[in-house]
Amino acid sequence: MTSIFVSYSHKDEQFREELEVHLAMLKREGSIDVWHDRRIVAGSQIDSTIDVELEKSDIVLLLISPDFLASSYCFDVEVQRAMQLRDQGKCEVIPVILRPCDWQSANAPFSKLLAVPKDGMPVSKWPDKDDAFLDIVKQLRKALEALEAFLVKNTSKSPRRVTSRNILFPSNVPHIDIPRSSNLRLAKTFNDVDKDRFLDEAMKYVKRFFEQSLLELKERNEGIDTRFIPIDHNAFGCVIYRDGKTVAKCGIRLNTGRYFGKGISYTNDESAPENTMQESLSLNYDEQSLFLVPMGMGYGGVQRTAKLSFNGASEYLWELLISPLQRS
């Protein structure tokens, strides 16, 4: 069984929990044992226990975000030691990019390593986070296969690393060998306040996304002009012109339940009327998070089962606006 150490900022705990859900099959197969600091037993010396678990790990997952880079303990202690162990051939280090940040800086010792998900695209920027976590799991499986092949090839030689079975624990470290699951996550509940706040934040994000995208579209393309139209707190409109002629327009509104269910509606009218729509994103949730689900009437064939993040929802609605322009 491969020992995996997860280094992360507690501000990214929800990402870590979601990643563990996606690692369930690898755990069921007996392929991995995942350790993170939430598995520390009460009464243990925190720093010493973390040191021991890091030293005996086969793979270290660095869950990278702005908070991770800002954490002195994550960056200056865990990352530095993980890279030392990697340089000594004692473990593999895999950067997992959770949120946009300056992780490719020359000062980051992991900047030259192949990061996951695919192309180092942050998990938070994927339209559906489940797709991002699935990609991470697939890459991890490849790493496990490569590690196993290496160990089989070098079985008759000196061991690649000290394993958890023969590691010598410092006498001053109280290592507790009590079988214990890392899956202690319970289902979350979301009340009306949580749902309303989520929709408010989603609308703010979509509004900023469209305003900035229109500015960038105009800057990058000769002959293109744009107009962002603030209507009220819950609605805005957009118009795109080519050589002075209107070629695309839309209105986006946060529905409060008067005409349609609560969610975000899209219409081809830049005045964003309350009583009509061509597409809608409704609020939904599972045991761990809130998300947006498209009705599925728009371009692109996004499935109604898609769980869209703020960015994923914005990209989906933007495609409805920009697609006719791209086809003309």
The average pLDDT across 205-223 equals 93
> Could you give the dihedral angle defined by the CA atoms of residues 61, 66, 68 and 73, in that order, rounded to the nearest 10 degrees?
150
Least-confidence region, from 68-72, 159-163, 261-265:
159-163
Find out whether 270 and 239 touch, Cβ atoms under 8 Å: yes
DSSP 210-232: HHHHHHHHHHHSTTEEEEEEEEE
The mean predicted confidence, pLDDT, of the chain is 84
Mean per-residue pLDDT for 217-240?
Answer: 95
In sequence order, what are the residues at sequence separation of 6 or more whose Cβ sits closer than 8 angstroms to the Cβ of residue 36? 5, 6, 7, 8, 16, 182
Strand 2-7 to 32-35 pairing: parallel
Report in angstroms the alpha-carbon separations of 5 from 35, 37, 113, 238. 5, 9, 17, 47
Q: Which of 24, 25, 21, 30 is nearest to 3 (CA)?
A: 30
pLDDT at 39 (0 to 100)? 66
User: Across residues 245-254, what is the average pLDDT?
Assistant: 96
pLDDT digits (tens, 9 = 90+) for 142-185: 888 887 776 666 654 444 443 333 333 333 433 334 455 556 66
Instruction: Say yes or no to pLDDT of 65 above 50.
Output: yes
Is pLDDT of 302 > 60? no
pLDDT tens figures, 12-49: 988 998 999 999 899 888 888 898 887 655 455 556 67
Task: Assess whether pLDDT exceeds 90 at residue 188.
Answer: no
The per-residue pLDDT for 326 is: 79
pLDDT confidence band for 241 (50 / 70 / 90): very high
Higher pLDDT, 158 or 215: 215
Residue 254 CB contacts under 8 Å (≥ 6 apart), including other chains: 199, 200, 203, 234, 235, 263, 264
pLDDT of residue 149: 75
Query: What is the arithmetic mean of pLDDT over 313-317?
Result: 91
Q: Return the pLDDT at 307.
A: 82
Report how far residue 211's alpha carbon sits from residue 208's, in angstroms, rounded to the nearest whole number.
5
Provide the percentage of residues in the chain whose pLDDT is more than 90: 53
DSSP state for residue 57 in the 8-state scheme: -
Unique residue bearing structure tokens 């009464």: 43
Residue 7: what pLDDT?
A: 94
Query: Which of 108, 82, 77, 110 has its CA nearest to residue 3?
Result: 82
Higher pLDDT, 125 or 163: 125
Does the model's pTM come out above 0.85? no
> What's the pLDDT at 9?
93
**Residue-level pLDDT at 146:** 82
What proportion of the chain, given as a percentage, has pLDDT over 70?
83
Q: Is the pLDDT of residue 80 over 80?
A: yes
* The token pair that represents 225 in the structure block: 């002009």
- Report pLDDT digits (tens) over 90-105: 889 999 999 999 999 9
